[in-house]
Amino acid sequence: MSLQALDHFTVMCADLERSRAFYSGALGLVDGDRPAIPIPGAWMYLGNRPVVHLMAAGKSAAPGPTGAFDHLAFEASDFTGVHSRLKSLDLDFQEAALPDFNLRQIFLHDPDGVKIELNFRG
């Protein structure tokens, strides 16, 4: 496996519109395309990359083990090799696919509970 780049980070938002306004107004990110994910949210782009993923948690949502920070994502290569390696290490992980974005994903947690997302394009 080869990690190629930091892909994005995800923030659980108490107020999605307030967070959208902050990331666009304060940081100059642009609200852009997002796949049909069942949780409301927004993808904020830097150039052609959605580097900040906002997910609506609502005011009553309890923060997760990492607070409002939800996960860290890396762009990676060799899906089959990574899948085999994780299985050989007996690590728990989940797979997902976003066909509209030509993307396969693997989700796992580090020893301290931080969620890691690996994105395989193509």
Structural contact between residues 94 and 86, judged by C-beta atoms closer than 8 angstroms: no
DSSP class per residue in 18-62: HHHHHHHHTT--EEE-----SS-EEEEEETTEEEEEEEE--TTPP
d(CA 21, CA 86): 39
Task: State the residue for tokens 């796949």.
Answer: 35
Q: Which residues pair with 4 in a beta bridge?
A: none
Contacting residues for 4 by C-beta, under 8 A, at least 6 apart: 74, 75, 76, 77
Q: Which pLDDT score is estimated for 60?
A: 57
Digit-coded pLDDT (tens) for 27-53 = 778 999 999 889 899 999 989 999 889
Give the predicted TM-score (pTM) of the model: 0.66
d(CA 17, CA 21): 6
Structural contact between residues 57 and 65, judged by C-beta atoms closer than 8 angstroms: no
Identify the structural domains of the chain with CATH numbers, from first to last.
Answer: 2-121 (3.10.180.10)
Q: Which pLDDT score is estimated for 33?
A: 94
Digit-coded pLDDT (tens) for 66-117 = 677 778 888 888 999 889 888 888 889 999 999 988 999 999 887 657 788 8
